Structure 1
Amino acid sequence: MGGEVRLSRRSLMALGGAAAAAALLPARAFANTPTETKLHGLSAFGELKYPADFSHFGYVNADAPKGGTINFAPPNSTFNQSFLTFNTLNSLVLKGDSPPRTEYCFDSLMVSALDEPDAVYGLLAESVTLSADRNTYTFALRPEARWHDGSPLTAADIVFALKLYKEKGHPNLSQALRWMTDAAAVDAATVRLTFSGEQSSQNILAVAQMPIVSKAYYTANDFEAATMAPPLGSGPYKMGRVSAGQFVEYDRFADYWGRDLPVNRGLYNFDRIRIDFYQNRQAAFEAFKKGDTHFREEFTARVWATGYDFPALTQGRVVKREFPGEKWPDMQAVALNQRRPQFKDVRVRRAIGLCFDFEWTQRTLFYGSYDRAQSNFEKSDYKAEGLPSPQELALLEPFRAELPAEVFGEPPLQPVSDGSGRDRKILGQAVKLLTEAGWKRSGEFFVDDKGERLKVEILAEDDGLVRLFTPWMEKMRTIGIDATIRQVDQAQYEQRQNDYDFDFILLHWSIGATPTEDSLEVLYHSRSATMPGMRNYPGTQSPAVDALVAAAGRAQSRAELTTALKALDRVLRTRLDWIPTYYLANHRVAYWDMFGFVEPKPDYGFPAEILWWFDKERAAKIGKA
């Protein structure tokens, strides 16, 4: 079950000719999108909500006042960004730890709409034109685009930035650009990007949203250097005061060239966005209680259930509430590093997974606030359920000889314990699996043929993870696995993640409502298993998985995408590359009552720091004016 899968001629022929060919041949990107026509936006499946003359997005207050400061704890990050510390201001390379939200200092060709699953609209680009073969995208730039020093942002900057990322950028950037064969400046206001024909429709959406850096700046400065010098930007914010590892401030750029564009109207309302860095969660929570931090999303169930009883909340100065989660797939799971021989056998991975007692954890540690995760695409239509559909079987059949029989049945579910914290039946199943995998009991622990113990080192970066993992570790030791927890600081944690220097690690990952081939490859593709800095923590290397990721990239409709991802989910859940843990349906948020915002929140994002605004009257009432 854990071995390599190979495509054989026999399994391909079992499909019966035409169906197999349809499943494996590449499809044309943007098959439903008009060509040789100037377009104001793009969607993977040609579905745009907003017309060319739209004035602003529907989820914003177009007349929101500007001003005030939000000091917030970022709930998410990208590229090399860290929540706990930073030692560089360059987020666009693998080296170093940078602060979240540096992306607000840069513009991109296009930006996403947060109330659509995959639509992007022009920012630097006024329009985009697709060639007849749908492999070349010509962007007409807005002539008013400017860098913060007043110099024009031109096609030369965009060409330079994309080529730079392809060669030296963070792996999430360079991998998305691998299908780009050429980037050319037709003139100062026109960029032509050419792709190989192997790219998916979603690929250009990722490329069009990449932050653009200055050619002049990075010709004079080393792009790969870890530096605290803020680079030249063009976006709605400019780097303000910075203290390495302590705080960063982003100041709204008053002369921002794009402030009145439809894609920006009603957004970026705070004069200052500040992020403070804390080494542990309790210190960060105390800062919020004192009012130093204004907005906080709570990720610790115990604190949410018992910690919000401080004076500011009981006085009504702080609001505690939940906001709906995004309508996109969510994955929180543990990876066992299959680059290490003891985890290659799926029976070992399954035995370790059986030692996680969700029912006990839910009652004892989570205060009943989480749901049990089963899928790599939880909370979405991409989650596999029931028997495979005929469409799913068309993708899976070529690999029948190599895939476990379970893939073609009901998708596997994680066990339900008796909630005692020591379910003998389930732990007995784990012992049986280890024995079947060839491990033998020698005294207290299982050992291999050489007498080496079955060891698992759990990597953790803070006290909250140690508290979560300790019962899991104890159950592993109960059945004979030599399990330990190693807590390291943020810098070591990031480095060990990037170098795949771990046994057992937890990841929470969201890949968007319309997962792209690039975002899927980061997690699942064989190619990413050997590239430092990717998120294929288990080291998955499977031709079947690779083929299903490619099928998702070839999808020409949402129905085809759903089919491919359901089939992928079946394979991943049977292989148990990722052990699903738990998920939270909503955002648990607390904030000082000094903000205005539009309700309901958009379905595909919740960046409060750019959606909300400072409300002077509310702030005055709570003494925060």
Structure 2
Amino acid sequence: MLTCQIKRKPHPINILFLLATLLGFSFGLHAEEKIYKSHAITIHGEPKYPADFTHFDFVNPEAPKGGTLHLATISSSGFDSLNPFIVKGIAASGLTPLNNNYFYDTLLYHSKDEPFTMYGLLAEQMEWPENRAWIIFHLHKNIHFHDGHPLTAEDVVFSFNLLQKEGHPLYKTYYANVEHVEALDKWRVKFTFTPGDNRELAMIIGQFAVLPKHYWSQHTFNKTSLTPPIGSGPYTISQVDAGRSITYQRDPNYWGKDLPVNRGKYNFNTIRYDYYRDPTVAIEALKAGEYDFRSENSAKNWATQYQGKLFTNQAMIKKTLPNLSRAGLQGFIYNIRRPVFADTKVRQALSYAYDFEWANKNLFYNSYQRTDSFFENSEMAASGLPSPAELKILEPFKKELPEAMFTQAFELPKTDGSGNNRQQLRQALRLLKEAGYALKEGKLINQQTNQPFSFEILLAQPEMERIVLPFQENLKKLGIEMTIRQVDAQQYIKRLRSFDFDMFVGSFGQSQSPGNEQRDFWHSSQADITGSRNYIGIKNPVIDQLVDKIITAPSREALINYCRALDRVLLWNHYVIPQFHINQYRLAYWNKFGQPEVTPKYSFTLDTWWEDPKKAEKIKSFRKKAN
């Protein structure tokens, strides 16, 4: 429960106040201000867990500590940095606090079984006014970094300023509305926000990693390095094999091991990531016992690779879990900075060349669903015609929006899956002709420039080619030449950051409570900032205003309607060709683990698993006999 107190701001002129009261005058005195204090903060409503909670429902608080967790990362170029906070280099797995808290602690921890509630981690309590114009974090007084140095409010202020000045551009965008940060004393830090109703900001400010001032004051932050830095989380870096593996060791002196938000988590003594260049090789390495666990994202691999004696005798487990979290959107992503993709009709036309139904039948074993929303698998996704609430949001922009948005439900092209998609390609040619193109001697020609229609799609994963090749063949039928450029991960990331591409296959992940990250995805202010996630290059005033409304949404209901309105505008502008999604986790692992009885509703995490000694010994014996 939240606790609330009323703060009456003192008035220094008590005598004048008395005279004003007697004479019936008013000096515009400060109104009473509600101040909330709590162990948790939520976007809307109240936290699920009370102040005296001992652990989350999705953990086993008595989980034993020990054993190893051996994982794999697929990357054609490995890693070259242990700094995940800058735009340079490729950081090693396991270092990013938004994915896990292995190495760095954050002020707050995002509960995995609530849409958006943050509980204190480094902070034992938070304090904020009703309008959330500021927030004060009260730190635990026993926090220390891995080298024993105390973590204080001074480190929080230093970290925030460092990330804003030298970190990835995302931080400057994400926290754009932070006006001021100050250490009130050794254990309290206050963030003050620019005017406006940005309810989420008081929460997401707790997500950045707190870095040690005493360390980074003596080291260069904005460069790649393979020297293990200093963190404050449950694990330290024990071994680095440049580009090939990184190993974390559980810290027996971890300051936060008994906190309610950590109880039942971080159970393995050792966590190691090995790097593989090829997914096929990685799967064979898993079955050979080289590592323990894999989350499979290929339908073909899931259908064909995880079978045989290992699975029939339960030495290995093949398992699906429901995925109730938002799917976001994966698709062919246009760079509309390129003149060839500047016209909405051209972008819409190319969507007719992607035959999802054929691909799902012939490539994916009918395991996927077509994605038709930027907020797929969530209540934020638009469907059918706009509701009255959505119309109220969209009608002020009616002149700037496609007329059909208000009279038709958005629908993606659909085929019968036979591979005969002539009807769809004829529709594509009609749109291309309206955009000023003509088919001449088998090539699609821009009638103004007399240039043929050609572009390049950028890929980093070889397995993506089987998805792209049928699309390429259909584009050929339209007279369009699409070349496939396969590059290594390092070059791929560099080119995306600098918007040096025509099209790529990518995704936009979403949270259960969309907010400030939408600015980085779609806002005009980010279109020309190197390293931003506005890959598309969107500069649309309507979208800018809808993003602002999402960020300042006063209620969950309003947030849902603003997201649905944004979804419609993004879809009708055809900025991407949506592909597919699945509402399951596909897991394959050696049968050595213990697992909590409850799986968190909105996420899946290995942080709550543990090594079962009896199962592990049995698997060890099995592997010996097999070899």
Asked if these proteins are the same fold (TM beyond 0.5), I'd say yes
Deviation at 1:132, TM superposition (A): 5.6
- Counterpart of 1:525 in structure 2 is 523
CA contact under 8 A between 2:351 and 2:413: conserved in structure 1? no
- Counterpart of 1:118 in structure 2 is 116
After the TM superposition, which parts of structure 1 deviate over 3 Å for at least 4 consecutive aligned residues? none
CA contact under 8 A between 2:326 and 2:511: conserved in structure 1? yes
CA contact under 8 A between 2:197 and 2:554: conserved in structure 1? no
- Counterpart of 2:356 in structure 1 is 358
Select between 129-138 and 41-50 the one with higher mean Cα deviation: 129-138
- Counterpart of 1:582 in structure 2 is 580
- Counterpart of 1:544 in structure 2 is 542
- The amino acid that maps onto 1:110 is L
1:198 and 1:442 map into 2 onto residues whose CA distance is 55
Select between 561-570 and 38-47 the one with higher mean Cα deviation: 38-47
Is 1:618 matched up with 2:615? yes
Deviation at 1:465, TM superposition (A): 0.5
- The amino acid that maps onto 2:193 is F
1:406 and 1:210 map into 2 onto residues whose CA distance is 42
Select between 267-276 and 389-398 the one with higher mean Cα deviation: 389-398
Deviation at 1:260, TM superposition (A): 0.1
What is the SS of the residue equivalent to 2:559? helix
Structure 1: tracts of 5 or more residues without a match: 1-33, 76-81
2:374 and 2:34 map into 1 onto residues whose CA distance is 35
Deviation at 1:83, TM superposition (A): 8.3
What is the SS of the residue equivalent to 1:401? helix
- The amino acid that maps onto 1:559 is E
1:109 and 1:397 map into 2 onto residues whose CA distance is 41
- The amino acid that maps onto 1:62 is P
2:268 and 2:170 map into 1 onto residues whose CA distance is 29
1:199 and 1:506 map into 2 onto residues whose CA distance is 35
What is the SS of the residue equivalent to 1:36? strand
Deviation at 1:607, TM superposition (A): 1.8
1:281 and 1:622 map into 2 onto residues whose CA distance is 24
- Counterpart of 2:467 in structure 1 is 468
- Counterpart of 2:325 in structure 1 is 327
- Counterpart of 1:505 in structure 2 is 504
- Counterpart of 2:78 in structure 1 is 85
CA contact under 8 A between 2:131 and 2:197: conserved in structure 1? no
- The amino acid that maps onto 1:574 is W
1:83 and 1:556 map into 2 onto residues whose CA distance is 45
Is 1:263 matched up with 2:283? no
- Counterpart of 2:36 in structure 1 is 37
1:490 and 1:549 map into 2 onto residues whose CA distance is 31
Deviation at 1:47, TM superposition (A): 2.3
What is the SS of the residue equivalent to 2:35? coil
Select between 382-391 and 559-568 the one with higher mean Cα deviation: 382-391
What is the SS of the residue equivalent to 1:217? helix
- Counterpart of 2:494 in structure 1 is 495
Deviation at 1:74, TM superposition (A): 5.8
1:456 and 1:425 map into 2 onto residues whose CA distance is 24
- The amino acid that maps onto 1:399 is F
Deviation at 1:613, TM superposition (A): 0.6
- Counterpart of 1:6 in structure 2 is none
CA contact under 8 A between 1:88 and 1:226: conserved in structure 2? yes
Deviation at 1:584, TM superposition (A): 0.8
CA contact under 8 A between 1:384 and 1:411: conserved in structure 2? no
1:60 and 1:241 map into 2 onto residues whose CA distance is 28
- The amino acid that maps onto 1:392 is E
CA contact under 8 A between 2:118 and 2:203: conserved in structure 1? yes
- The amino acid that maps onto 2:88 is K
CA contact under 8 A between 2:326 and 2:378: conserved in structure 1? yes
Deviation at 1:218, TM superposition (A): 0.8
1:537-576 residue pairs with structure 2 within 5 A? 537-576=535-574
CA contact under 8 A between 1:597 and 1:611: conserved in structure 2? yes
CA contact under 8 A between 1:351 and 1:433: conserved in structure 2? yes
2:76 and 2:114 map into 1 onto residues whose CA distance is 28
Deviation at 1:84, TM superposition (A): 5.5
CA contact under 8 A between 1:83 and 1:100: conserved in structure 2? no
Deviation at 1:284, TM superposition (A): 1.2
What is the SS of the residue equivalent to 1:511? coil
- Counterpart of 2:24 in structure 1 is none
- Counterpart of 2:67 in structure 1 is 68
What is the SS of the residue equivalent to 2:414? coil
Deviation at 1:173, TM superposition (A): 1.8
2:73 and 2:461 map into 1 onto residues whose CA distance is 16
Deviation at 1:486, TM superposition (A): 0.9
What is the SS of the residue equivalent to 2:400? coil
TM-score calculated relative to the size of structure 1: 0.91
Deviation at 1:579, TM superposition (A): 1.6
Deviation at 1:512, TM superposition (A): 1.1
Deviation at 1:133, TM superposition (A): 4.8
- Counterpart of 1:603 in structure 2 is 601
CA contact under 8 A between 1:248 and 1:275: conserved in structure 2? yes
- Counterpart of 2:270 in structure 1 is 272
1:509 and 1:249 map into 2 onto residues whose CA distance is 29
CA contact under 8 A between 2:327 and 2:581: conserved in structure 1? no
Q: Encode CA deviations 1:550-585: one digit per residue, 9 max, x unaligned.
A: 111111211111100111111111101122110011
CA RMSD, aligned part only? 1.6
1:253 and 1:58 map into 2 onto residues whose CA distance is 24
**Structure number with bigger Rg:** 2
Deviation at 1:600, TM superposition (A): 3.4
1:83 and 1:143 map into 2 onto residues whose CA distance is 44
Deviation at 1:205, TM superposition (A): 1.8
- The amino acid that maps onto 1:85 is G
2:178 to 177, 180, 205: 180
CA contact under 8 A between 1:289 and 1:310: conserved in structure 2? no
What is the SS of the residue equivalent to 1:313? helix
1:624 and 1:130 map into 2 onto residues whose CA distance is 56
1:23-34 residue pairs with structure 2 within 5 A? none
Deviation at 1:532, TM superposition (A): 1.6
2:297 and 2:494 map into 1 onto residues whose CA distance is 23
Deviation at 1:314, TM superposition (A): 3.1
- Counterpart of 2:240 in structure 1 is 242
1:86 and 1:311 map into 2 onto residues whose CA distance is 35
What is the SS of the residue equivalent to 2:228? coil
2:341 and 2:509 map into 1 onto residues whose CA distance is 25
What is the SS of the residue equivalent to 2:37? coil
What is the SS of the residue equivalent to 1:508? strand
- Counterpart of 2:104 in structure 1 is 106
Deviation at 1:223, TM superposition (A): 0.8
1:243 and 1:618 map into 2 onto residues whose CA distance is 29
CA contact under 8 A between 2:109 and 2:121: conserved in structure 1? yes
CA contact under 8 A between 1:147 and 1:233: conserved in structure 2? yes
1:624/1:197 CA distance change after superposition, 3 Å: farther
1:105 and 1:447 map into 2 onto residues whose CA distance is 54
- Counterpart of 1:12 in structure 2 is none
Select between 435-444 and 186-195 the one with higher mean Cα deviation: 435-444
1:437 to 435, 443, 468: 435
| Residue identity (%) | 39
Q: How many pairs align?
A: 584
Deviation at 1:504, TM superposition (A): 1.1
Q: Encode CA deviations 1:316-365: one digit per residue, 9 max, x unaligned.
A: 21100101113324211221110000101111111111111011100110
Structure 2: tracts of 5 or more residues without a match: 1-32, 623-627
TM-score calculated relative to the size of structure 2: 0.91
